[in-house]
């Protein structure tokens, strides 16, 4: 019954901004860490950002540090990825994910359907 749904993707020119949303249903938002991943055409899926279950800590892949920000809204049970100063190399399908259990080492289990982000030169 757990469902993650991404939205907010689209086409934007280099230097522009987008905010992606990950709406979570079927569970309490604040109990689980949430990650953002992306997969560009012809490339492996890579980690982008993560926020812990309390929202107190976050981390990012080096290529997006200073440009992307991950946040949460407990009232809406939604995690966001604010993407600024977008570059063509950010073009990818973006996915959010959560583990099944509370343990810190629990693997990513629930995934959304993905949302396309395209950044033109």
Q: pLDDT tens, position by position, for the chain (121 residues)?
A: 899 999 999 999 999 999 999 999 998 755 789 999 999 999 999 999 999 887 789 999 999 999 999 999 888 889 999 999 999 999 999 999 999 987 778 899 999 999 999 999 9
Q: What are the angstrom distances between the C-alpha of 61 and each of 24, 50, 66, 75?
A: 23, 9, 10, 27
CA dist 102 and 32 (Å) reads 6
Query: In b/e form, how buried is each residue of 75-87, taking b as 16+ CB within 10 angstroms?
Result: eebbbbbebeebe
Work out whether strand 58-60 and strand 68-73 pair parallel, antiparallel, or are unpaired.
unpaired
């Amino acid at each position: 019954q757990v469902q993650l749904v991404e939205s907010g993707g689209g086409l934007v020119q280099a230097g522009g901004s987008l905010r992606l949303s990950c709406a979570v249903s079927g569970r309490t938002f604040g109990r689980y860490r949430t990650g953002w991943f992306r997969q560009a055409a012809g490339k492996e899926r890579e980690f982008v950002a993560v926020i812990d279950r309390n929202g107190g800590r976050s981390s990012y892949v080096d290529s997006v540090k200073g440009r992307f920000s991950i946040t949460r809204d407990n009232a809406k049970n939604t995690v966001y990825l604010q993407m600024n100063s977008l570059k063509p190399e950010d073009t990818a399908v973006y996915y959010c994910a959560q583990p099944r259990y509370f343990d810190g080492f629990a693997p990513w289990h629930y995934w959304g359907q993905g949302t396309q982000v395209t950044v033109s030169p």
